[in-house]
Amino acid sequence: MIRPATPDDLDRLLAMVHALAAHHGDPAACTREALERDVFGPGAFLSVLIAEGGYTALYPVAQLHWGVRGMEMHHLFVDPTRRSSGLGKALVEAAIAQTRAQGGRFLALGTHPGNDKARAFYTALGFEPFHPGARMRVKF
C-alpha cells in the first residue's frame, strides 16, 4: 500500500534516504531533523509517498511561460530486495496520480545520463526526454 508519509515514518524514511545516498556514493548527510523540517514542518516543501520497501519524494514546480504547474520527482527509492516487484512502477503511478490531483500537468525527473536502465524504466512509463538530455517528463 502506497500512502502519504506521516511523522511516524521518519526513522524508516531516513534509513531509505541514507540507503539511496549510499547507492549513489554520496554521504548520508540528511538528519532526522532536516527530514522532518522539509517534509512535515511549517515550511515543508517536499511531499513523500511511502510504501513497505520504498518511497518517492516530490516537490512542486511551475512553468510560468506556459501557465502550467507540475511536480518534480526528487527521489524514487526501492529497496534492493523489492526491485523488479512492481513497486517502483506503483510509486511512479502514485506520484502521477498525486500530481494530477493537485492540478499538475506534468511530472518531471532527472536521471544520470549513463543510467540506461533507469531511462528505459521511465520511458516504458511514458516519460520522454527533454532539454537538457538527462531530464525526462510525462505530460497529462
Q: What is the mean pLDDT of residues 61-80?
A: 94
* Per-residue DSSP letter, 7: G
Q: Where are the extended beta strands (E) located within the chain?
A: 3-4, 47-51, 54-63, 68-78, 106-110, 128-130, 135-139
Q: The whole model's pTM is what?
A: 0.91
Band (88; pLDDT cuts 50, 70, 90)? very high
CATH number, position 115:
3.40.630.30
Per the structure, the count of domains in the chain is: 1
Query: pLDDT of 63-72, one tens digit each?
Result: 899 999 999 9
pLDDT at 138: 85
Q: What is the arithmetic mean of pLDDT over 89-116?
A: 94
Residue 136 pLDDT more than 70? Answer: yes
- Residue 61: pLDDT band (50, 70, 90) is very high
For 84, the domain range is 3-139
